[in-house]
Amino acid sequence: QKEVEQDPGPLSVPEGAIVSLNCTYSNSAFQYFMWYRQYSRKGPELLMYTYSSGNKEDGRFTAQVDKSSKYISLFIRDSQPSDSATYLCALRASGGFKTIFGAGTRLFVKA
Amino acid sequence: GAVVSQHPSWVICKSGTSVKIECRSLDFQATTMFWYRQFPKQSLMLMATSNEGSKATYEQGVEKDKFLINHASLTLSTLTVTSAHPEDSSFYICSAGDQSTDTQYFGPGTRLTVL
């Protein structure tokens, strides 16, 4: 069993749709939860960072963490064509920066 | 926000040669940096943890003699791919942890093509 499971997609949605991206994990030692956006041939860009169960909102993005279910989500409201990218969930335990990534979900937002 | 740079951004080399990639944290000091490799349409795979002033820690299956890591200062880590072969062609990304913000920042990546 992989430490982090993420559906690679691709996921195609019309402009303006609400997008839901998800990851599950198996190791309860993970305490920090991140979502990165990566455009083709670029480095990952940090979108959201949280360390507690619940929701965290930043503009059109909402990160949700459920530690009891070991399930994390990223919601994108009013999706735009510029949101088309690969979204990677990332997790790390406390006491260091070693980070494990999900497979990444390729998102296409059609105009 | 904090910035991590990589140099070069793209390199082409002949099989059998060595290639050095630099990773710098531009506005913070990083005692720990990380090197990842990413093949097309795949996720980032951690190769090694670079520790300032000490030996790097390699992930299982990564050849330490092939991928030499040096972290000589708090702002610079280098990855040298020795005796490169076509199968080493990949996108190499570094990251650095900023302890003041408890955040990891990624470099823009280096695309290596071995002919």
Residue A3 has pLDDT above 70, yes or no: yes
- State whether A42 and B95 contact (CB < 8 Å): no
Q: What is the mean pLDDT of residues A15-42?
A: 94
Residue A4 has pLDDT above 90, yes or no: yes
| Amino acid identity for residue A17 in this structure | A
Give the B-side interface with A, CB within 8 Å.
6, 32, 34, 41-44, 46, 49, 91, 93, 95, 97, 102-109, 111
Residue A13 tokens, joined: 């949605």
Q: Any idea which residue has 């919601």 for tokens?
A: A75
Quick one: which of A61, A87, A90, A105 has its CA closest to B95?
A90
Measure in Å the smallest separation between the Cα of B115 and chain A Cα atoms: 19
In angstroms, the CA A81 to CA A85 distance is 9
CB pairs under 8 A between A and B: 51
Neighbour count for residue A29 (Cβ, 10 Å) = 12
Strand A30-38 versus strand A45-50 pairing type: antiparallel
What pLDDT shows up at residue B63? 94
Express each pLDDT in B56-74 by its tens digit: 999 999 999 999 999 989 9
Question: Which residues of chain B make contact with A94, given a CB cutoff of 8 A?
Answer: none
Measure in Å the smallest separation between the Cα of B41 and chain A Cα atoms: 9
Question: Which residues of chain A make contact with B42, given a CB cutoff of 8 A?
Answer: 103-104
Identify the band that residue B1 occupies on the pLDDT scale cut at 50, 70 and 90: low
